[in-house]
Structure 1
């Protein structure tokens, strides 16, 4: 019985494919496929339904299915395209098979449902696994990339480095900050490190504790840490929480912190006569215009 039903579906695949394409195209204007060119949409649908029938014919997962899922993932098509398409195939196929008999009893109806489910479920499982594996791999790569960017140490001048922090700081990220900070201080032979928290939205007790730990670790290896980017609301929060930041210098901006770093390394910014002349020439040229 199962073999006969499968042969009926395969022999009448053209009719089922035509009905399937009509059903899949109905909701195109209401979903993500509306932005896809007609040529790509139609060719992908044709390939999809051919892959389905190949799987039905071979009674199992095929290499064509693996290749098709890989292409969809590379093109960025969502998993819903797969699941919706297979549900349409399931509905269209069942309707067609039931339409071949004038009278369908309960047993025959159940057999048709089970048979079609046995065709569709392995395909869904395979494609979902492919998508899941791909997205997990992508998320893993993105997590590594974000970790590398979450605590950069930038040498801006001999013996002076800057660590700009952006976003929230949790325990895992604080550990990464500490490791990058200490490694960078040694690598760049930094005498002064500027930790810029301008981009940190909230400084609570835990965040302040991590920053203090980092500054103390820098001090223990013979360098000075300056905390910059203290906004008024951050200063108020620190005072209200009773957090003691008196052990290392703090500045409201990176510019003021950099000036302090220059002084700590026996340097300073000097306005030369040549730079003054250049400024005057620039102002004169603007006035002439």
Structure 2
């Protein structure tokens, strides 16, 4: 598309330096300091400059390469932690800056004509940026959810044939299922003889949680290993007694250290202090 037809190309090229001073400053002024406190001034300028490059590419060539660039750009601003509303408002601010500068000495008719040009040339790019941002954000959140699920119930080998699963936070049905899967897969993978489930970081042990722990212990036993429940704090012990929960089938210890000592004994080993 030639510059004679498109009113934005020559203007952006001619006033690029001015735009890259005013727009990033406007972006920073809109921020609530949560982002700007960790992002440098140059980073704002770089992001704004990259958007202007995309805008010019779209105005000049308008092909699939521009869509790919928008995808990369959107992924980058997701990684910066900018919200969708912040990006949308920021793009609108650029529109205002462009419109005000391009219509300083224009008639009402010329202004209305430029509004139509905005809708034709600029708005589609902005919509694509926001759509790609939303898609990239959903993908990022999905990956984070998978990572959190994997970290929510890790099985860690600490000695030969001895593994520990430290649990932190509440345990619901979905997480209990993940715990069971990781336990069984880990026992086979690490050839565990003893598995320690550490509930030091679990705030509440109610009937449902106790039921899941008993199930996990039984499942571990069925694949040829033994299960120890460690990290039972006094308040947790009191809750278990008050609820009438029966943990007789599970070996319990009040700390991870005691559990490791018991696991070593169960595998015919012990900790020996070396003399000087």
Compute the TM-score of the two structures, normalised by the length of structure 2.
0.77
Pairing partner for 2:95 from 86, 90, 102: 90
- Does the CA-based 8 Å contact 1:61-1:123 persist in structure 2? no
Query: How far 1:71 moved relative to its partner?
Result: 4.8
Q: Is 1:24 aligned to residue 27 of structure 2? A: no
Distance of 2:214 and 2:197 partners within structure 1 = 11
One of 175, 190, 200 as aligned partner of 2:192:
190
Question: Could you tell me how far 1:25 is from its partner in structure 2?
Answer: 4.2
Which residue of 235, 244, 250 maps to 2:252? 250
Task: Give the RMSD, CA atoms, in angstroms.
Answer: 3.4
C-alpha displacement of 1:132: 2.6
Residue in 2 aligned with 1:170? 172
What are structure 2's unaligned runs of at least 5 residues?
A: none
Q: Please state how far the C-alpha of 1:33 moved relative to its aligned partner.
A: 5.1
Task: Give the Å deviation of 1:215.
Answer: 0.9
SS at match of 1:163: strand
Greater helix fraction, Structure 1 or Structure 2: 1
Which of the numbers 27, 48, 61 marks the counterpart of 2:51?
Answer: 48
Match of 1:205 among 204, 207, 216: 207
Equivalent residue number for residue 259 of structure 1: 261
Deviation, structure 1 residue 179: 1.5
Q: Which runs of 5+ in 1 are unaligned?
A: 279-289
In 2 relative to 1, CA 148–92 (structure 1 residues): closer, same or farther, beyond 3 Å?
Answer: closer
State the aligned residue count.
268
Provide the C-alpha distance between the structure 2 equivalents of 1:5 and 1:86, rounded to a whole number of angstroms: 25
Equivalents in 1 of 2:95, 2:246: separation in Å? 67
Normalization by structure 1: what TM-score? 0.74
Q: How many angstroms apart in 2 are the aligned matches of 1:19 and 1:204?
A: 63
Alignment CA distance shift 1:109-1:158 (3 Å): closer
CA distance in 2, matches of 1:154, 1:46: 46
State the 1:233 CA deviation: 1.5
Q: Is the 8 A contact 1:229 1:252 kept in 2?
A: yes
